[in-house]
Every structure is written in C-alpha cells, then in structure tokens.
Amino acid sequence: MKHTLFLLLFLSPLFNYSQETLNETLVHDGITREYTIHIPPGYDAENPVPLVFSLHGFTSNNAFHMLYTGFNNIADTATFIIVYPQGTLTAQGATHWNVGGFTAGSTTDDVGFFDALIDEVSSNYSINADRIYSTGMSNGGYMSFLLACQISSKIAAVASVTGSMTPSTYYECNPEHPTPVLQIHGTTDGTVPYGGGAGWSEPITDVLDYWINYNNCETDPILTPFEDIEPNDGSTAEHFLWDSGDNGVTTEHIKITGGGHDWPGIGLGYGNMDLSASLEVWKFFMRFDINGSLNAEVNDVVEIDHEKTLLKIVDILGRDAREVKNQMLFYIFSDGTTEKRFFTE
C-alpha cells in the first residue's frame, strides 16, 4: 500500500488528499536532502493554500520538531501545508542550518536548498505563492531570518522562536519587500542570549530595531501582557507590536521574562505555558501575504479540537518507543501538547 500511494502522488499531485504526513527527499547541490510534509484533510488542489516551513534547532531533527510544535494540528484546522526540512551534518556530526556565525565553516547551501524546495513543493501541490512563510527554533529561527534576507521574493513573513540573526545575516541582509517579523524569545535564554553573543549572534533588541526601521514601523510599540495563567512556570510574557509599517506590515516581539531556551506552550514540564508559540506564529502569519497586510483579524483563528488522546510515545530522538524504565520518553497527544515522563526502577 505504501508503494502504491507513492506512485499515485507521483503521477497525479493534483488529486484531492486526505490528511497525510509523508517523508520525502530532494537532491540539491549533490546532496540528498530530507523533509517531511504534512497535507491537511481540507486540501483541495482547486484552492491554493499557504505553505509554512518549520525548522528544527541545532543538533535536533525534523521528526522531534514536528512532534513538539504541534503544528500539524493547527494546519489541519487552518488548512495550510507544513514542511519540516532536515538539516545537514557539520564536520563534528551536528545537524544544522548554515547561517554563518556559529555555523561558520559549513559549506552547505541551505538558502539554495530552500529556494529549490519551494519550487519542488509548489510543483507537486497547489500553493499560494504569495503566502509562503518560515519559522523555526533556535538555529531554525536564524535560518528563517536568512531566508527573509536572501530570498525574500518568495517569503511573505518569518517568525523566530529562540533564534536571532548572525552578524553576517544582519549586515548583509537585502530584503526586497516590507517583511512582517515575529520574534519570540526568553530573557534568560542561556543558549541564544537575549543580549547577543559577540561575533556570532546579534542582540534581540538590535534584530527588532533592524526590522522596525526597514519596515518603516512606528517606533513606539503597543504593549499587551499575556495573562499569567501558569504562575508556577517561572516566567511571564508580553507582546510588543510596532505597527503601521509599509504595506501595513508589523514587527512584533513576544518577550518571555524569565524564559529560557524553549518553545513556549509545549508542556514538557519546563518553559512558559502562558501561550502556545505555534498558535501565536500562525495567528501572525495568517494576517499577511507577500504584498503586506491581509486585513485579517488577529484573533480570527480556526478553532482547534482540544480533545486529548495519546497519539504516540517517542524517545528524545523522535523515534517510536514503548514504556521502559530509566529512559526519558515524550508522550504526544492529539491536542498538540507533549508530556515528558521518566520512569525509574
């Protein structure tokens, strides 16, 4: 059945689909690159849909990233296609995206890979070319900014979670249109410091200032605190909105005071739980296309079914697992939440 399904997809990519998650490959620059693509149940080739890239962090992988972000659940209700690419290995064997800075020495052409991947997905599925977005965790956030700087003719908006811009991305950035940007970051992030890292990572305030100035936004932000619905998580969240940019775009920041290097809302027993980073990213993306504001209401988001059932159990590498003692396991539920459990003898 698996081989039959692949043949049908190859021969007729414009068939209507039920919900599917497929592992695919693309040869670029002599390297076989891997990616996972999720097709929502409402996909209809007669109606072009948005495309979202969600990128894992340094040393991580696309399978685990797909599971803890819960984006598939949002894609199923909002009807967009989401792609989780896999990074290549450094000389030391760490998965990465080549963004300069801390990945200096890498020879992987990741910008070219994403340029080709957009074309590949768009040839196989009915994609709205004006609504292609990129988000990512840590190194994936850096890569999203790099795409906004180097292939902005194909990228409508970007959102970074715990990422930043490397100096080379920052100083060589050359976007071609006003670009909506959302930055989600914790003030006590010990991996990607909020205040920057000399020679490899720009301060978050400098990153925001770059896009505020480029987008010609108002310089005084509108500040809205998130309700502290989980007072025991050790952090609070605020939303900063610099609006009235060219073409109606905005530059936005969700500042997690006391937050660390994690994806808010995933429920692994740590990190901020006052918001869902995945939902906030989609709420942001849905308001813009490559031409600017779509005049969508900020809270006009498709309701998600939060009935909670266990989907699978995986280990720290995202591999299917069963309940065993003395091993960290992650329980993935249908409402997009994840629970970390460790059983001892």
- Length in residues, the chain: 345
Query: Side chain identity at 56, as an amino acid letter?
Result: H
Residue 325's pLDDT is 56
Residue 317's pLDDT is 62
3-state secondary structure of 254: strand
Residue 323's pLDDT is 57
CA distances from 94 to 57, 59, 60 (A): 10, 5, 8
Taking the model in full, what pTM does it have?
A: 0.84
Give the domains, in start order, of the chain with CATH numbers: 17-304 (3.40.50.1820), 309-345 (no CATH)
Low-confidence ranges of the chain (pLDDT < 50): 1-17, 298-306, 344-345
Q: Give the Cα separation of 281 and 118 in Å (integer).
A: 20
Residue of 243, 204, 238 whose CA lies nearest to 221: 243
Residue 22's pLDDT is 95
Express each pLDDT in 54-89 by its tens digit: 999 999 999 999 999 999 999 999 999 999 999 999
Residue 13's pLDDT is 37
